[in-house]
Amino acid sequence: MNTVVFDLDGTLVDTVADIAHAVNRALQPAGLPALTLAEVRGQVGLGGTALVRRALAKAGREAGHEEVAELQDAYLTAYAAEPVRHSTVYPGAARLLDELRGCGVRLGICTNKSGRITGELLAALDLTERVDAVVTGDTLPVRKPDPRPLRHTVELAGGTAALMVGDSTSDVRAARAARLPVACVAFGYHDDVAALAPDAVLTDYATFFTTVRGAGIPLPAPTP
């Protein structure tokens, strides 16, 4: 297994506070109630449109196409203006990336987030130089759960056999369609990752190697 590909939101980086801040800035002028962190967390993997529809449903309003599109644009504008105000790297993630690279593993990030915001996040959180390839939601005409972005990430990273690490249905479906093993983090944005039936469930990054190997997924040993 010479390549490991990570999702971004809810897997390597906790971005929910910045996403909530942006979507609530978009909702306020429209007279819509703010979404709580828990409400945003449950919708993050489904994209900005899902967040807007959740807010309209909370207010008891019908989700008309025009209003959804306008609120989506307002949310994306607000998020692009401040994408890294509160976002943080999950504990142990940066160290794990360094350990994997240290034992010869190629690393990639495959996310549905836009390229511009992804680049800002990675740079601000000191992750850019830790990976070999980044594929975002606007790199190809398709996004996860289509397997093509995942396959493209592996190719750009210069690897062959790969493991996908994520936290959502989209990550698992993309990996299955690409015929790759997949591990899900239990601390991400899906309440019950075991229900997604990944090959391995990661409770933290400190036990990454033992958990993945215990699931029968081969990885080289980290350098002591």
**CA-to-CA distance for 44 and 51, rounded, in angstroms?**
7
> DSSP characters for 100-139?
HHHTT-EEEEE-SS-HHHHHHHHHHTT-GGG-SEEE-TTT
- What amino acid is encoded at 219 in this protein? L
Catalytic residues, which ones?
A: 7
**CA-to-CA distance for 15 and 212, rounded, in angstroms?**
25
Six-digit token pair at 116?
Answer: 């511009």
Report whether 26 contacts 130 (CB < 8 A). no
> DSSP characters for 41-64?
HTTGGG-HHHHHHHHHHHTT----
> What percent of the residues of the chain are helix, what percent strand, and what percent coil, each to the nearest 5?
45, 15, 40
7 marked as part of a ligand binding site: yes
Paired strand residues for 109 = 6, 134
Residue positions in the annotated binding site? 7, 9, 167
**Per the annotation, where are the binding residues for Mg(2+)?**
7, 9, 167
